[in-house]
Chain A
Amino acid sequence: MKQYRIGLFIPCYIDMFYPQVGIATLELLQKLGQEVVYPDKQTCCGQPLANSGAEKEAIATYKHFVAQFRGFDYIVTPSGSCAYHVRHHFDILEQTDDVRQVRENTFELCEFLTDILQVEDLKIKFPHRVGLHQSCHGLRGLKLASASELIEQRYSKLRRLLEKAEGIELIELDRPDECCGFGGTFSIFEPDVSVKMGRDRIADHERHHAEYITSYDMSCLMHMEGIIRRQGKAIKVIHVAEILNRNSL
């Protein structure tokens, strides 16, 4: 496996509330022999602002991001949504070499594992029934899987990484890739629809007896976890990095 110098990008809400996801990502990449650097002055990709319409107010944050992450072979993050934002919406910055390289080299963890490191089998043991939540920005923005709307060959990078795990049972959903309703600030400006979407998503996983819902985006899982805890449900959420890091490499 080739070794790269990786800038580890830990999204703001993961840094603040889900450090275990950041730790799992870091450990996994190190186990795969990568040189991982965490630029410790990093903050956020600015998406919460831009999705609310405050792209202009986000420019300072974008610039700060580029300053932290320039010069790495790759920038890897355990978030499809944040990776999509950097790649796609940093287009409003002046496209200097740094900006272009940062945009091109930012990868979501699963796609980095499958596309760049070309990992085949991580030798994981995870004897549980697991439902995949293919978060929208990763799915339709980064094309981490085929979207159900498109008439194309079916694939899923998330599934490919998990299906070889020992003991795992990946469940099928009635609606394979419906949005969970998080949507960034949508979740607070349209709370009723957002929560209803989340409840329906969880119910689909429950109908198929999933023990865990996993995703490459903790933000969707944070939203669903909030509903699960409010309703006292048994089903659990887990970031895919936490499963993949249980390997025996």
Chain B
Amino acid sequence: MNSTHAENAAQFLADEPRANWHDETLWIVRQKRDKAAANIPEWERLRQQASAIKDEVLANLDVYLEQFEAAAIKNGATVFWAADAAEFNQIMLNIIRRHKAKNIVKSKSMLTEECGLNRFLQSQGVEVVDTDLGERIIQFRHEAPSHIVLPAIHLKRQEIGETFHEKLGTEAGNSDPTYLTRAARKHLREKFLAAEIAITGVNFAVAETGSVVVCTNEGNADMGVQSAPVQIHCMGLEKILPRQTDLGVFTRLLARNATGQAVTSYTSHYMQPKPEGAMYIVIVDNGRSARLANPKYIQSLKCIRCGGCMNTCPVYRRSGGHSYGYVIPGPIGSILAPHTHHYPDLPFASSLCGSCSNVCPVKIEIHEQLYHWRQDLMQHRQTSWLKRMAMKATGIALSGNRRYNTLGAVARWAVAHLPRKLLYLPVNTWGVGRELPQAPQQSFKAWYKTNNPSKKQTS
């Protein structure tokens, strides 16, 4: 997508009733989260603890990764390391070819989205069926997820009914959720039963045990892994937790913060291959170690992909996940995206209200990170020339009393005297839906000079 977030958002907002529905739907999720969090009196301490564990992991990642690898191998798994998306995709293709597999199912994994795995495998003649219901819906529609936990949240059930009618032969015009879910279940059951390889994402990888933990609400990761002889777990290298006992901190936070559930319906621990089966774990870097080496932005690697920042973000709710153009939308996506080359407008797609930082279960200061990215993008000339010049000029104007006073006088004069047509030219984007402030008789400074109330002071 080449258009900017602002342009995409304007398009999203053109259908206001739909935008309102999107906002309301996600606000309900936020409210559920508030309720679930409030049921844990030690919630804020839990966040602090999770944040500290993640800090410890990032500070010793090399050690924990090797510990994890050794334990996983001892358990009977095969571990691969991928430096980037291309290597990851190739490793996946090689495994699939080695097992001569035709029927492949995959549960939700943002990492595979990030690496474009489906697209790559398709180009090699390999079809992968996404088994998360939301993912399957958008796969049918050839769309990207608009949310990392609720990938089809941008769709209304009527649209899903139409898609299922076309792809699964459900009754035309029937969008009853139970009816549609049953149709999906029947369709996916066939896929599970035929599966030769099951691919999953990884929520947590425990260094001391070598096990991977996958959290789902639909049990689709288990359905795949239990029926296919071969299982592949794909993880970003930051998914490590040191100890089994750390898990409880995160499983308590994850579902509550994501959807307001006390715990995900399924929390599955995979440790070793099935008899006659094979278990692969693919650990992916794809820019993470570079981020790890950058102390200013390292904290974005603490993210556990709960999506809480999206649900609370007033901008996300009113612009939709697709408006960001990056695989992970919303506040966290805007600090995870590789800005220096792409997506230079994303750090500006925020009012810096800070709600994201307050809900973040691992206490990433998301809005402060956005603020810092803005500085870097400006310094690296990734913003428009016009904007940079305007900022330079404003900087000069605001740093001196006389220049500043002149600026104020001109602004007041313009608002008071310029014809409306001129004041509200399209270049004045303030005027899109707002009136400019009315010009007072004089500035506070001028009032103070003439009235100088310090003379009347009691002191």
Contact = CB atoms under 8 A, between A and B. Distances in A.
Given A51-B374, A52-B374, A188-B429, A181 B351 contact: yes
A55 interface: yes
A224 to B, nearest CB: 9
Given A18-B440, A191-B432, A225-B437, A64 B37 contact: no
Secondary structure at chain A's binding surface: helix, strand, loop or mixed?
helix
Interface string B434-459: 11111110111101110001100111
A52 B391 contact: yes
Interface stretch (B38-46, B94-102, B222-230, B285-293): B38-46
Contacts of A55: 375, 378
A25 to B, nearest CB: 9
Contacts of B447: 19, 22-23
Bin the interface of chain B by size.
Answer: 35 or more
Interface stretch (B56-64, B325-333, B354-362): B354-362
B5 A190 contact: yes
B23 interface: yes
Interface residues of A, number: 83
A230 B434 contact: yes
B256 to A, nearest CB: 11
A131 interface: no
B177 interface: no
Nearest to B348: A189
A150 interface: yes
Nearest to A221: B437
Contacts of A136: 351-355
A199 B38 CA distance: 29
B453 A27 contact: yes
Interface string B20-54: 00010001000000100110110110000000000
A64 B400 contact: yes
The 6 closest A-B pairs by CB, nearest first: A183-B351, A226-B434, A53-B378, A57-B395, A195-B433, A53-B374
Interface of A: 3, 10, 12-20, 22-23, 26-27, 30, 33, 35-38, 40-44, 46, 48-58, 60-61, 63-64, 89, 136-137, 139-141, 147-152, 175, 178-179, 181-184, 186-200, 222-223, 225-227, 229-230
24 contacts: A3-B459, A15-B443, A18-B437, A19-B447, A40-B401, A48-B394, A49-B394, A52-B387, A54-B388, A64-B401, A89-B371, A136-B355, A148-B34, A149-B312, A181-B351, A184-B352, A186-B351, A190-B348, A192-B13, A192-B433, A195-B434, A196-B16, A229-B435, A230-B433
